């Protein structure tokens, strides 16, 4: 039987899975997508992710909240990070986002505008 990590289709599906999907959810989705084939378990997916890219990426608070994402995106090039955080807290309440989250989001936006992959 062919091992799952040698199966190009399954590896592409694992690598292209959204970061918000849990390992268990991904394992179940893979069993549904590839019935009768060797698919990875939850722990195998965790090991693969850690080995390949240092762990599973988390979805930021900015990406999870559509209104907050639009607010930050609208002000990302006009205001400083501190001003964006202060404005977001005034609109969405305290602790809605952090300086570091806004900074990471701004880096991703700038990289996307330049057509590069963010670090």
Torsion of CA 64, 112, 22, 34, to 10 degrees: 130
| pLDDT score at 99 | 92
| pLDDT score at 59 | 76
CB 87 within 8 A of CB 75: yes
Where is mean pLDDT largest: 8-17, 20-29, 70-79? 70-79
User: Considering the entire predicted model, what is its pTM?
Assistant: 0.53
What are 40-96's pLDDT values in tens digits? 998 888 888 877 766 666 678 888 888 999 999 999 989 999 999 999 999 999 888
**20 Cβ partners below 8 Å, 6+ apart?**
59, 64
CB 59 within 8 A of CB 20: yes
What are the extents of the domains in the chain? Answer: 4-53, 61-114
Is residue 106 over pLDDT 80? Answer: yes
Query: 22 vs 3, 16, 27, 68, 115, CA distance in Å?
Result: 22, 13, 9, 23, 28
């Amino acid at each position: 039987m062919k091992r799952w990590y040698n199966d190009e289709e399954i590896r592409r599906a694992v690598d292209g899975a959204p970061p918000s999907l849990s390992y268990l959810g991904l394992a179940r989705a893979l069993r549904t997508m590839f019935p009768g084939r060797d698919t990875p378990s939850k722990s195998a997916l965790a090991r693969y992710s850690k080995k390949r890219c240092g762990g599973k990426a988390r979805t930021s608070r900015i990406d999870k909240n559509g209104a907050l994402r639009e607010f930050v995106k609208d002000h990302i090039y006009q205001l400083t990070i501190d001003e964006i955080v202060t404005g977001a807290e005034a609109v969405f309440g305290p602790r809605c986002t952090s300086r570091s989250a806004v900074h990471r989001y701004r880096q991703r936006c700038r990289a996307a505008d330049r057509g590069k992959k963010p670090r």
